[in-house]
Amino acid sequence: MLIPEFIYHQLLTTPPLPKSSFAGETIILTGGNRGLGFEAAKHIIRLGVSKLIIAVRSVTAGEEARTKLLKDNANAHIEIWELDLGKYESVKAFAQRAQTLSRLDAVLNNAAIAKYNAFEITEDNETNVTINFVSTFLLIVLLLPKLRESAEKFNINPRVSIVGSEGMNWVAFTERKSKDGEIFKSLNTNSKTTNMQDRYFLTKLLVMLCVRELVTRMENSRNNGSTVQRIIINVPAPGYCATDLAHELKGSVAVRIFEKVMARAPEPGSRCLVDGIGRGKESHGQYLSESKIKPTGKFIRSEEGKEVGGRLWDELVVKLENIQPGISTNI
């Protein structure tokens, strides 16, 4: 999407209400206690979900959100599970717990962080990279066996959505040109050229590149057996929304004015996310914006983008194997 089109949608259009039925389904929503996630939870409940698992870093905050949701939906089945994407062991424990579910129909990966100021390391990567990218893929790949099991047992197409951003199309991604060819090493080095102001958007570019790689590998996976690959993975973007995600920048008068003029409320943005987990096979491997399938930026579609995506994926798999040996066999 070009910037003029983005501005047009921000100011003059509203995403449609999602209409999919989630009756009988079990859905995991990460980061569902506030902002976009909380509004997405409302829609998921409205659409009849049988069990909604809200994954949060703070169980106390999650329970507070659950109480609010139950005020308007007393019969809703909402569970709060602990998940800290800043800790690999927490991700692994959450995924292990999910294996006990009788079914898993969809996973909406909404939880993310946006650190614009200090360069910090969480686990073995810069913090944004760990939480928004590595841990998100760690969770997804760990959940693939349960999703496949559900697909077979209930004859369904499980859906996995990772929240994206239009900003992924506008970042420079100079780290791809590191002299030693190691993308993660460059991402995790605080150099003079490190631009923390676009780091959140860069992590969303990393997500999109590796979603396409994961989709390709899943299509050719031996785990499909004699069946067709049924899991659907897509990347829906909510547009620019007034949430506390960019709280580190809120001290700037210019940022506050820009948000007041351009940002939409969390509820309309959440419609795009819920639309993502209600989508069918046409959305597999696709980027969604304004609840429509849209082309990505030129870099992602270019030959260089494909080559960089392949290298990035190979590095990611090595990292995931170090975290959980044997995890790549899930793919």
- For the annotated catalytic residues, the residue numbers are 200, 204
Q: Which of 290, 134, 277 is nearest to 207 (CA)?
A: 134
- Rounded Cα distance, 232 and 265, in Å: 28
Tell me what percent of the chain is helix, strand and coil, each rounded to the nearest 5.
50, 15, 35
For residue 290, is it left (φ>0), alpha (ψ between -120 and 50) or beta? left
Q: Which DSSP state fits 19?
A: -
Q: HEC states along 243-300?
A: CCCCHHHCCCHHHHHHHHHHCECHHHHHHHHHHHHCCCHHHCCCEEECCEEECCCHHH
- Rounded Cα distance, 103 and 85, in Å: 23
- Rounded Cα distance, 97 and 99, in Å: 5
Which residue type occupies 41? A
208-236 burial code (b ≥16 CB/10 A, e <16): bbbbbbbbeebeeeeeeeeeebbbbbbbb
- Rounded Cα distance, 14 and 23, in Å: 26
Q: At what angle do helices 3-12 and 253-262 cross, to 10 degrees?
A: 70
Phi, psi dihedral angles at 83 (to 5 degrees): -150, 115
